[in-house]
Amino acid sequence: MSRTKIAVKVENQVFNSIKDACAYLKLNTPAGLAHAIKRGNSTYKGLAIERVNPIVPDKVKKMKKNNRLECPVVCENLNLHFRNIRQAAAYAKVDGWTMSKKMSTAGQFKDKDGNIYKRLKPMKSKNVYENTGDTIKTTRAFAHRTVNKSVSNQPIQVLETKSEEILRPAQPVLKVDKVQLAKNILKEKVIASIQVDDYVLAKNLIDVIQTL
C-alpha cells in the first residue's frame, strides 16, 4: 500500500521526502525528523525545518495512467460524450464488453432506441472477433421457432429450439384392477393364517374372497 510522501524544507533546501532529507543530512533514522515535522516544530537539532505541500501520491499517478487507457465514446445522434465504455454502456443499459466488441467489429453500436455509439480509440486485442452486426440480437425463450434478424446483408436464419419436456417420451398409463388387487392381498393373508394353524380366520377370508 503506497503512502503519501511528505516534502520538507531543511535550511531552505526542499526534499521530496523525510527519508531524502535524512540521507542528505546523514541522520541515522528519519523517525525523529518525522515526529518533529508532524508536531509542527520549526527546528530539529538546530536546523530550521518546515513542511511543504506534499507531492502527488503514487495512487493518484496510477489513476491518471488508467485514464489514458480508457476509451472515450460518442453518441452521434444525441451529441453525448462519455469518458469510457462503462459509462456509455450504463447509459444504453447494455453489457459493456458486448458494446465494446460491436463498436470495434461493426464500427458502431446501435441500442434498442436506435442511438448510435462509436468508440474514439481502437480496441487493442490479439483476438479476432466476428462481425455480428451493430445491434444486440434477442431470442424468445422456449419458442419452437425463433427468427434472428440481422442488420447486415446476411440471410435470415431460422433456429429450431425444443424444450426438454417435448423430447421426453410419453410414459404408459397403467390401469389398476382394484378387485384383483384386493383378492391378492386376501390370498396372502389366507396363506399366512394357515401357516399359523388359524383355520377359522382363513375360512372367513376365503368367504370374503368369494363375495368379491
Q: Which residue do the cell numbers 546523514 mark?
A: 26
Read off the pLDDT of each residue in 170-178 and give the average, rounded to a whole number.
64
Q: What is the distance between the alpha carbons of residues 162 and 138, in angstroms, rounded to a whole number?
A: 17
Q: Which of 54-58, 75-79, 164-168, 193-197 has the lowest mean pLDDT?
A: 164-168
Instruction: Look up the pTM and report it.
Output: 0.36
DSSP string, 95-107: -HHHHHHHHHHSS
Contact 85, 100 (CB under 8 A): yes
List of E strands, 155-194: 157-160
In this structure, what DSSP letter does residue 177 have? -
Residue scoring higher pLDDT (150 or 42) = 42
Q: Does residue 106 surpass a pLDDT of 80?
A: yes
Q: b vs e for 52-63, b when ≥16 Cβ sit within 10 Å of the residue's Cβ? A: eeeeeeeeeeee
Per-residue confidence (pLDDT) for residue 74, from 0 to 100: 93
Q: Which of 83-87, 138-142, 173-177 has the lowest mean pLDDT?
A: 138-142
Q: Is 92 exposed, middle or buried (0-12, 13-18, 19+ CB in 10 A)?
A: buried
Read off the pLDDT of each residue in 158-176 and give the average, rounded to a whole number.
50
Confidence of residue 54 (pLDDT cuts 50, 70, 90): low
What's the chain's Rg over C-alpha atoms? 42
∠ CA 91-95-98 to the nearest 5 degrees? 120
SS3 132: coil
Q: What is the distance between the alpha carbons of residues 189 and 202, in angstroms, rounded to a whole number?
A: 8
List of E strands, the chain: 8-10, 13-15, 43-44, 47-51, 73-75, 80-82, 109-110, 116-119, 145-148, 157-160
Residue scoring higher pLDDT (22 or 118) = 118
Strand pairing class (80-82; 73-75): antiparallel
In this structure, what DSSP letter does residue 18 have? H
Question: E strand or H helix at 85, and its extent?
Answer: helix 85-92
DSSP string, 136-178: -----TT-SEEEE--SSSSPPEEEE---HHHHSPPPPPPPP-H
Q: Does residue 203 surpass a pLDDT of 80?
A: yes
Q: What is the distance between the alpha carbons of residues 212 and 210, in angstroms, rounded to a whole number?
A: 6
Read off the pLDDT of each residue in 94-114 and give the average, rounded to a whole number.
90
